[in-house]
Structure 1
Amino acid sequence: MLSDVLIVASPNRSPRIECTGGVAARRTDADTVHLVSAAATPLGGDTIRIRVVVEVGARLRLRSAAATMAMPGTVTMESRAAWDLEVQGALDLDPQPTIVAGTATHLTSTRLAIGDSGTVRLRERIQIGRTGERQGFWSGAVHADIDGAPLLRHRVELGTGSVTDDELGTPLACISELRYPNAAFDGAGTMLPLAAGGCLATWQGERL
Structure 2
Amino acid sequence: MLSEVLIVASVGRAPRIECVGGLAGRRTDADTVHLISAAATPLGGDTISIRVVVEAGAVLRVRSAAATMAMPGTVTMESRATWDLEVHGHLDVDPQPTIVAGAARHVTSTRLALGEGGTVRVRERVQIGRSHERHGTWSGSMRADADATPVLRHRVELGAGSVTDDELASPRAYVSELRYPQAEFDGAGTMLQLAAGGCLATWQGDRL
Q: Report TM bin, short chain.
A: over 0.9
CA distance in 1, matches of 2:24, 2:200: 29
* Runs of 4+ that moved beyond 2 A: none
- Give the equivalent residue in structure 2 for 1:17: 17
Paired residue secondary structure (1:153): strand
Superposed counterparts of 1:72-83, under 5 Å: 72-83=72-83
* 1:97-146 Cα deviation digits (max 9, x unpaired): 00000000000000000011100000000000000111100000000000
Paired amino acid for 2:119: T
CA RMSD, 1 decimal: 0.5
Partner of 1:124: 124
Letter aligned with residue 187 of structure 1: G
Q: State the shift of 1:167 in Å.
A: 2.8
1:64-75 pair list within 5 angstroms? 64-75=64-75
1:69-119 Cα offsets, whole Å, 9 max, x none, are 000000000000000000000000000000000000000000000011100
For 1:150-195, what per-residue CA distance to the aligned partner results, in whole angstroms no more than 9, with x for missing partners? Answer: 0000001100110011133301000000000100000010000000
Q: Which runs of 5+ in 1 are unaligned?
A: none
CA distance in 2, matches of 1:41, 1:130: 16
Which SS does the other structure have where 2:177 is aligned? strand
**Aligned residue for 1:144?**
144
Q: Which amino acid aligns with 2:136?
A: G
Question: What's the counterpart of residue 93 of structure 1?
Answer: 93
Q: Could you tell me how far apart the structure 2 residues matched to 1:185 and 1:33 are? A: 25
Measured in 1, the distance between the counterparts of 2:70 and 2:81 equals 10
Paired amino acid for 1:95: P
Q: Aligned pairs, how many?
A: 208
Aligned amino acid, residue 172 of structure 1: R
Letter paired with 2:69:
M
